[in-house]
Amino acid sequence: MRSVALAVHEQVTLLEVATAYEVFGVDRGLTPEWYDFAVCGAEGTPVGGWFQARKPRGLDTLAAADTVVVPACGDVTRDPPTDLVEAVRAAYDGGARVVSICTGAFVLAAAGLLDGRRATTHWLYAERLAERHPNVHVDPGVLYVDEGRILTSAGKAAGMDLCLHIVRLDHGMAVANALARRLVVPPHRSGGQAQFIPAPMASARENPLADVLTWAIARLDQPLAVEDLAREAKMSSRNLARHFNAVAGTTPSQWLLTQRLHRAQELLETTDDSVELVAARTGMGTAATLRRHFSRAVGVPPDTYRRTFRLGQGVS
DNA sequence: AAAACTATCCGCCAGA
DNA sequence: CGTCTGGCGGATAGTT
């Protein structure tokens, strides 16, 4: 996945174009080969109402890229431009990985790429997306969703998280962490699949579990069991599991484990606590348990992760 | 390293 | 009737 094409079109917003450009378009020498980055669209397309795309490649060249990034389409009440939808469809059919930021998900949905898949978009438009495209499993509560060749992200800044996630997939964690350090953003805020972060704006109506999740995150240092969550949620564990699957696409214990591992990563990055202590402070019990889960989820053992991260800091 | 032990998940059914 | 909920038990993943 070495070439990235960014689709610009009418009403595209500045931040998202900038996000993709900063991540994929600037070679900071972090790894021998960075991405071949191209902007595709019509000459003079206004960007964010302030700038104009200069000498972009045509939309028809989208399909040539390994990865296609689709930023927000300004007006979601109208159908996205047909030529854009078709170009995205063609790119996907040609084997490209397709990524949307914010309401760019509407373009992917219009191209039929999201049917039967989990996806996300800006929380403000999640309901509209679900209405317009009933076959899409819209999850308004995550930063991004990784469905393999289709990746969608929530509003604005979450696009950065997804772009970093892609760099992590392509170049590994060390490079992604070094880049995050250069950009001065958190190195890893996880998005889709088994991972779930309660969206700050998620209302109790959208996500009846939001309170329980927040409650649990505040007590991560304790060995919480699923039963404890159920009690807090005032429902049976059976029902809690059901809601978890519906809202987060995962099980209570899986979600809990993911949160613990996030906290562990954070502690490894920011403290000198021993792995035993990190295990205790993340409610993982023993170091052995932490090591096993950490290695499987992150890919490297805790000690290696800490060393790698420290190295990444040195690069800046 | 394996076996006993525990917690969790999930399909199914029944009741509200 | 469709939807939501709780409980049961086999299967399985995780822990000691």
Q: What is the 3-state secondary structure (H, E, C) of chain A?
A: CCEEEEECCCCECHHHHHHHHHHHHCCCCCCCCCCEEEEECCCCCEECCCEECCCCECHHHHHHCCEEEECCCCCCCCCCCHHHHHHHHHHHHCCCEEEEEHHHHHHHHHCCCCCCCEECCCHHHHHHHHHHCCCCEECCCCCEEECCCEEEECCCCHHHHHHHHHHHHHHCHHHHHHHHHHHCCCCCCCCCCCCCCCCCCCCCCCCCCHHHHHHHHCCCCCCCCHHHHHHHHCCCHHHHHHHHHHHHCCCHHHHHHHHHHHHHHHHHHHCCCCHHHHHHHCCCCCHHHHHHHHHHHHCCCHHHHHHHHHHHHHHC
pLDDT over 90 (residue A21)? yes
Note whether A184 and A41 are within 8 A (CB): no
- Determine which of A176-190, A213-227, A234-248 has the lowest per-residue pLDDT on average: A176-190
Nucleotide nearest the Cα atom of A239 (by C1'): C5
**How far, in Å, is the CA of A278 from the C1' of nucleotide C10?**
36
Indicate the pLDDT class of residue A48, thresholds 50, 70 and 90: confident
Note whether A186 and A180 are within 8 A (CB): yes
Is strand C within 7 Å of residue A165 (CB)?
Answer: no
Nucleotide nearest the Cα atom of A225 (by C1'): B7
The share of chain A scoring above pLDDT 90, in percent, equals: 31
Single pTM value for the model: 0.63
- Determine which of A29-33, A91-95, A204-208, A266-270 has the lowest per-residue pLDDT on average: A204-208
pLDDT over 50 (residue A194)? no
* Number of C-beta neighbours around residue A153 at 10 A: 32
**How far, in Å, is the CA of A118 from the C1' of nucleotide B8?**
24
pLDDT of res. A26: 92
pLDDT over 80 (residue A210)? no
For residue A254 the two structure tokens come to 């899986």
pLDDT of res. A23: 94
β-strand A144-146 against A150-153: which pairing, if any?
antiparallel
pLDDT of res. A196: 44
Is strand C within 7 Å of residue A297 (CB)?
Answer: no
Nucleotide nearest the Cα atom of A251 (by C1'): B9
pLDDT over 60 (residue A199)? no
For residue A85 the two structure tokens come to 């939808």
Is strand C within 7 Å of residue A236 (CB)?
Answer: yes
Task: Report residues 176-235 of A contacting strand C, contact meaning Cβ closer than 7 Å.
Answer: 235
Is strand C within 7 Å of residue A238 (CB)?
Answer: yes
Q: Compute the distance between CA of residue A146 and CA of residue A162 in angstroms, rounded to an integer.
A: 9
Our measurement of the distance from residue A79's CA atom to the centroid of its chain's CA atoms, rounded to an integer in Å, reads: 25
pLDDT of res. A110: 94
Nucleotide nearest the Cα atom of A286 (by C1'): C15
**How far, in Å, is the CA of A223 from the C1' of nucleotide B7?**
13
Comparing A67 with A46, the larger pLDDT belongs to A67
Query: Residue range A36-41: average pLDDT?
Result: 92
Is strand C within 7 Å of residue A260 (CB)?
Answer: no
**How far, in Å, is the CA of A193 from the C1' of nucleotide C8?**
29
Nucleotide nearest the Cα atom of A233 (by C1'): C5
pLDDT of res. A183: 83
Comparing A200 with A216, the larger pLDDT belongs to A216
**How far, in Å, is the CA of A109 from the C1' of nucleotide C4?**
30
Comparing A106 with A182, the larger pLDDT belongs to A106
Query: Residue range A153-180: average pLDDT?
Result: 82
pLDDT tens-digit readout, A111-132: 999 988 888 888 788 888 988 9
Instruction: Write the burial class of residue A5 (CB in 10 Å: 0-12 exposed, 13-18 middle, 19+ buried).
Output: buried
Note whether A35 and A20 are within 8 A (CB): no
Average pLDDT of chain A is: 83
